[in-house]
Chain A
Amino acid sequence: MAKVTMVDAVTMALAHELRNDKDVVILGEDVGINGGVFRATNGLAQEFGEDRVIDTPLAEAMIAGLTVGMATQGMKPIAEAQFMGFIYPMFEQIVCHAARFRNRTRGRLTCPLVIRAPYGGGIHAPEHHSESTEAMFAHIPGLRVVAPSSPSRAYGLLLAAIRNPDPVLFLEPKRVYHLNKEEVEDDGEEYPLDMCFVDREGTDVTLVTWGAMMKETIEAADKLATEGISAEIIDVATISPLDMDTIHESVEKTGRCVIIQEAARHCSLSSEIAANLADQGLYNLMAPVKRVTGYDTIMPLFKMEKKYMPTADRIIDQVRKVMEVS
């Protein structure tokens, strides 16, 4: 079995579906002969032709709008937004149309599309290239928002996203595109959407995170283990719809929860998880829910981005606070 990086796993999943479903097409700027700015579509235009992997004019709203139009006519388009910071011109098409067609036509027209967007900071990119604004999309009914944290999950979840009959925003944490290699078999097996993964079992505290922050969360959990603190790690994976059952079950066991996200705190996914724990799981908690997040500031340019993003030490700090309550 081949060991691959996350970006390789994305390419494998795309190739698998292009091979097995004639309705699948990829479109976006530079996705063809250049293989995408992160090479996620590397070699696909050469293998499947420029009618299946389509270079478009530079117009994000148009890419999203074409994708919506194609999907309503029975195709399964996969659009690439080069960076999440460039997804905002697509926002209107995603929110006003992709997310709504099934509901507003009572199922007559549907939107089985995927929009892939590399997201998050930590790669020394220019302005507007490093945002984590998943909560903006998680707020929209009718969408699925998925963020894998490893090569195998990128492969399995992307297959599920492409095969899903509804629109999926697939957010790829670009900071970890090349971080680790994992054995991923190109067997076409999808991973389930709409559920969290319990990445590591523990008994003292539940750490909830997703995407690239899994790296710092694991580092924190490893250090905490040497201090005798057993952390359970939950990878949310599907940000919306959110699987709170798995989080509640974990917190019922550990009694403590720290949520870690790269995004700004205000009105974020961590806000939703914390509110849900307060509403539905208060009596399972031995300590207040803590959050480790980006600041409520604009994501700084790269000289300061590491100061913005949560570190393992910041996570440990909050875990110690919740552990103080017994």
Chain B
Amino acid sequence: MTTVASFEINYLQYLSPNGDLVGDKKPNIATNYEHLKSIYELMVMTRTFDTKAVALQRTGKMGTYASCLGHEAVHIGIGAAMEESDVFAPMYREYGAQFYRGVKMSEVLNYWGGDERGSNFSGPQHDFPWCVPIATQCMHAAGAALAFKLRGEQRAAVSVVGDGGSSKGDFLEAINAASAFQLPMVLMIVNNQWAISVPRKKQSAGRTLAQKGVAGGLPCIQVDGNDYIAVYTAVKSALKRAKEGKGASVIEAITYRLSDHTTADDASRYRPDDEVENAREFEPIKRMRKYLTNQGQWNEQLENQLIATCKAEVDEAVEEYLNVPKPEITDMFDYMYADLPHDLEAQRRYALEQEEKSNG
């Protein structure tokens, strides 16, 4: 018998849970302390935001919300590695990447607060909004990447799915499209171990999820998703490769969902407490703080200042969200089509009349 194909999946980690640099070859970013401090600040800001968003939901001031607790290194790593001209196709908990790209915290709150205007966010206007149907956004990223390739543009697209999303045909079809068309894109799997209540081991018997890209002949790698330096390095490298015309990559970032799936979920029904407690030891913010502190780049005073800054900025965003003017009833109709069809004009008039009546 002859072996006609074989593969290996490598694992990338630079920053250990103890905050030590590990491995032989360190990327330059590992000692770019100004950059890492700004990233740490955004991580803390994102967590402060996340905590507040959950509180808003719990107090009836916002709708169902998908927390990003514990994921900060992954999505901020993606955001920092991308250029503005690249296209981001997120799922629905990659706020850190979006904040890095200029989306405002009040816009995220507006979306989860039940207002479509939240998806008309700041930042790159070509970026996709949050995508609820699982993994369908992978194909949008592939379509965007195909457009870039056909136009000869030096741009790439990044999509994100979870470990559950990697089971969807859409994800696998996107891998196939990336392969067949040699698309400039990066397919990220944020493996946070739980797809609502279904654990990673029930998604696939495969040793890794990254290896799903092997079927398409794409380079596939696992990274420590709680290690910002590893995520940033892997995504940066995959994007460079994509823009050099060498095609797409699959990156599986291993992390842990420290929160419930959404505020409508109760993870204690299916997840052991000790597993969550153990995962807290590996979480990304604690790790980055240890590293920066060990390097003499961070201290308690800076930490206290940062916490105060984050709290003030998040409070400001919440104020902005709570004071956003109510949407008009006509908004429901006015963005359906470029030109309002005749039959919708009549419904629009009727809705407006009803609104005027109800307002007295």
| Cβ contact within 8 Å between B344 and A241 | yes
Give the chain A neighbours of B125 by CB distance below 8 A. 108
Interface residues of B in 129-150 (CB under 8 A from A): 129, 132-133, 136, 138-148, 150
Question: Contacts A25-B150, A65-B140; is A241 near B173 (CB within 8 Å)?
Answer: no
Residue from the list A74, A109, A110, A194 in contact with B342, Cβ < 8 A: A194
Give the chain A neighbours of B140 by CB distance below 8 A. 65, 68-69, 72, 97
Among listed B227-235, B330-338, B349-357, interface-contacting one:
B330-338
Residue from the list A57, A62, A109 in contact with B129, Cβ < 8 A: A109
Among listed A180-188, A242-250, A283-291, A310-318, interface-contacting one:
A242-250
Is the CB of A92 closer than 8 A to any CB of chain B? Answer: yes
Question: Contacts A107-B120, A108-B125; is A102 near B133 (CB within 8 Å)?
Answer: no
Is the CB of B281 closer than 8 A to any CB of chain A? Answer: no
Question: Contacts A57-B180, A103-B116, A108-B125; is A245 near B143 (CB within 8 Å)?
Answer: no
Is the CB of B128 closer than 8 A to any CB of chain A? Answer: yes
Give the chain B neighbours of A47 by CB distance below 8 A. none
Contact string, A232-260, partner B, CB cutoff 8 A, digits 1/0? 00000000011111000000000000000
Is the CB of A127 closer than 8 A to any CB of chain B? Answer: no
Give the chain B neighbours of A105 by CB distance below 8 A. 116, 119-120, 129
Give the chain A neighbours of B128 by CB distance below 8 A. 72, 109
Is the CB of B26 closer than 8 A to any CB of chain A? Answer: no
| Cβ contact within 8 Å between B341 and A92 | no
B149 to chain A, nearest CB (A): 9
| Cβ contact within 8 Å between B338 and A102 | yes
Question: Contacts A105-B119, A110-B338, A243-B342; is A93 near B136 (CB within 8 Å)?
Answer: yes
| Cβ contact within 8 Å between B177 and A67 | no
Chain A, residue nearest B340 (CB): A241
Give the chain A neighbours of B174 by CB distance below 8 A. 62, 65
Give the chain A neighbours of B117 by CB distance below 8 A. 106
Q: A67 to B150: give the CA distance in the assembly, Å.
A: 13
Among B129, B136, B146, B338, the most chain A Cβ lie within 10 Å of the Cβ of B146
| Cβ contact within 8 Å between B143 and A106 | no
Is the CB of A300 closer than 8 A to any CB of chain B? Answer: no
Give the chain B neighbours of A144 by CB distance below 8 A. 337
| Cβ contact within 8 Å between B147 and A141 | no
Is the CB of B66 closer than 8 A to any CB of chain A? Answer: no
Is the CB of B262 closer than 8 A to any CB of chain A? Answer: no
A217 to chain B, nearest CB (A): 24
Q: A164 to B338: give the CA distance in the assembly, Å.
A: 9
Interface residues of B in 113-130 (CB under 8 A from A): 116-117, 119-121, 125-126, 128-129
| Cβ contact within 8 Å between B338 and A96 | no
| Cβ contact within 8 Å between B87 and A73 | yes
Question: Contacts A93-B136, A97-B136, A243-B342; is A69 near B337 (CB within 8 Å)?
Answer: no
| Cβ contact within 8 Å between B139 and A62 | yes
Q: A66 to B145: give the CA distance in the assembly, Å.
A: 9
Give the chain A neighbours of B16 by CB distance below 8 A. none
Q: Please report whether the interface of chain B is mostly helix, strand, loop or mixed according to DSSP.
A: helix
| Cβ contact within 8 Å between A165 and B142 | no
Chain B, residue nearest A60 (CB): B173
| Cβ contact within 8 Å between B133 and A96 | yes
Is the CB of A301 closer than 8 A to any CB of chain B? Answer: no
Interface residues on B, range: 35 or more
Is the CB of B273 closer than 8 A to any CB of chain A? Answer: no
Q: A164 to B94: give the CA distance in the assembly, Å.
A: 33
Give the chain B neighbours of A109 by CB distance below 8 A. 126, 128-129
| Cβ contact within 8 Å between A65 and B133 | no
Q: A70 to B126: give the CA distance in the assembly, Å.
A: 11
| Cβ contact within 8 Å between B169 and A61 | yes
Among A59, A77, A92, A243, the most chain B Cβ lie within 10 Å of the Cβ of A59
Interface residues of A in 54-88 (CB under 8 A from B): 56-57, 59, 61-62, 64-75, 77
Contact string, A100-120, partner B, CB cutoff 8 A, digits 1/0? 001111111110000000000
Give the chain A neighbours of B8 by CB distance below 8 A. none
A242 to chain B, nearest CB (A): 6
Give the chain B neighbours of A97 by CB distance below 8 A. 133, 136, 140
Residue from the list A51, A102, A164, A194 in contact with B150, Cβ < 8 A: A51
Q: A61 to B135: give the CA distance in the assembly, Å.
A: 12
Chain A, residue nearest B159 (CB): A69
| Cβ contact within 8 Å between A61 and B116 | no
| Cβ contact within 8 Å between A245 and B342 | yes
Q: A164 to B179: give the CA distance in the assembly, Å.
A: 31
Give the chain A neighbours of B136 by CB distance below 8 A. 65, 92-93, 96-97
Interface residues of B in 163-189 (CB under 8 A from A): 169-170, 173-174, 176-177, 180
Interface residues of B in 256-289 (CB under 8 A from A): none
| Cβ contact within 8 Å between A102 and B144 | no
Give the chain B neighbours of A70 by CB distance below 8 A. 143-144, 146-147
Q: A290 to B128: give the CA distance in the assembly, Å.
A: 46
| Cβ contact within 8 Å between B142 and A74 | no
Interface residues of A in 16-68 (CB under 8 A from B): 25, 51, 56-57, 59, 61-62, 64-68
Instruction: Please give 18 more A-B residue pairs, beta carbons under 8 A apart, in addition to A65-B140, A104-B129.
Output: A56-B177, A62-B142, A65-B139, A65-B174, A66-B143, A69-B139, A69-B147, A70-B143, A70-B144, A70-B147, A72-B143, A97-B136, A106-B120, A110-B338, A141-B336, A144-B337, A194-B342, A243-B342
Provide a sorted-by-A list of 6 A–B residue pairs whose CB atoms are within 8 angstroms.
A59-B177, A62-B170, A68-B139, A69-B145, A70-B143, A241-B337
